[in-house]
Amino acid sequence: MVYWIGYRHYVFDLRAQQWRRRDVKGHMIILRYADDVIIGFEHEAEAHRFWDVMRTRLEQLSLELHGEMTRLL
pLDDT tens digits for the chain (73 residues)? 444 445 676 678 888 888 888 989 999 988 888 778 888 999 999 999 988 888 888 888 787 777 888 888 8
What is the predicted pLDDT for the residue at 9? Answer: 67
Roughly how many angstroms between the first and final C-alpha of the chain, as a whole number?
Answer: 28
Residues 59, 25: Cα–Cα separation, whole Å: 26
Are 57 and 19 in contact by the 8 Å Cβ rule? The answer is no
> Taking the domains of the chain in order of start, what are their residue ranges?
2-60
C-alpha of 26 from chain center: 16
Residues 66, 42: Cα–Cα separation, whole Å: 24
